[in-house]
Amino acid sequence: MRAFALDAFGQPGSIHDLPDPEPAEKEVRVRVTAASINPFDNAVLQGYLSGRMEHRFPLVPCGDLAGTVDALGAGVDGVAIGDSVFGVTGKMVLGEGTLAEFATASTSTIAKRPAALSEVEAAALPLAGVSALMSVEAAAPRPNDVVVIVGASGGIGSYAVQLAAATGARVIGVTSKAKTEYVKSLGAHEVIDRTSGDVIKALKAKHRDGVAAIIDTGSDAAGLAELSETVRKGGTVTSMKGAAAVEDLAKRGIKGVNVGTQVTRERLDHLARLAADGKLKAPHIQTFSLEKASEAFQLIVQDAHLGKLVVKI
């Protein structure tokens, strides 16, 4: 099979000719049509997780996929050859990824793709969509609660803005000025330009009693600690980076949640239903060929993209 892979950390990656993978027990093999790239995948390529998880070379990155089931491993039920599916590989090792013509995936981390959801849209959804869903559920906003979403124009943020707005919350997106109209189009009531001034000052000026929640997709611990000063007692701070100081926040009567994304078939089904019913629209998606996948990774490094990046295999 053709795959985008690298032979050592820090390389730009290139097209490799690799053996087709075989599904293990409770796995299926998917003929991949589209695969999305997340910031986590770039961290893998740079070697940032080399001491934390097993890596296998040549390393094929990425975990999100959409495609058609091509083969079944032992003990598989509920999925048949020819089914259109989407999800993540569900693997505990890195390097057996989805930037390839074929990939294997656990049946517990994929779901059937509804016809109303294109393969490109489906490939964009799994990791970012489930991360957003879990973040909004942790924040548990009520109607008219003010919810601040930091990184509102990114993959997770694009879904989180919509999911939070759907609860009746008043969403404030934090992003750069050039992305303001995009974030508003997703349902944000207000957008703060993080590049033009003091975000904390702007929040405190308009919401003197404090906001109900912060959903943060990218701040470090120090930055999130400062932002959390704008949250009222009884509020919530969530982080996708493990940056929420749970004990310190608790002393102020604020719930801190470091979200560890867990993609399940149930969560994928829920998001797919929302998308198929027109209640969750696809973010802005930029597509690349397999040969141009390295260009997509560069956009992540430069933080120079909206929404999601998807490779069409």
Mean pLDDT by 10 residues, the chain (313 residues): 95 94 98 97 93 95 98 96 98 96 98 97 98 98 98 97 98 95 97 88 94 97 96 98 98 98 98 97 97 94 87 97
Which residue reads 């997770």 in tokens?
156
CATH 3.40.50.720 maps onto the chain at 128-258
What pLDDT score does 304 carry? 72
What pLDDT score does 117 carry? 96
Inter-residue contact 265 to 272 (CB < 8 Å): no
Give the whole-angstrom CA distance, residue 21 versus residue 35.
16
What pLDDT score does 72 carry? 98
Residue 152's nearest CA partner among 141, 137, 165, 139 is 165
Beta bridge partners of 182: none
What pLDDT score does 247 carry? 98
Which residue reads 């956009």 in tokens?
299
In the chain, where do the E strands start and end? 2-5, 14-17, 27-37, 54-60, 64-72, 84-88, 93-96, 102-106, 110-112, 146-150, 170-175, 190-193, 211-216, 231-239, 255-258, 285-289, 308-312
What pLDDT score does 169 carry? 98
CATH 3.90.180.10 maps onto the chain at 2-125+282-312
**Can you read off the two tokens belonging to residue 268?**
């994928």
Q: Which fold has domain 128-258?
A: Rossmann fold (3.40.50)
Q: Which amino acid is at 210?
A: G
Q: Which fold has domain 2-125+282-312?
A: Quinone Oxidoreductase; Chain A, domain 1 (3.90.180)
**Can you read off the two tokens belonging to residue 102?**
């074929």
What pLDDT score does 308 carry? 97
Query: pLDDT digit string (tens) for 31-89?
Result: 999 999 999 999 999 999 998 999 999 999 999 999 999 999 999 999 999 999 999 99
DSSP string, 158-173: HHHHHHHHHTT-EEEE
What pLDDT score does 149 carry? 98
Inter-residue contact 29 to 102 (CB < 8 Å): yes
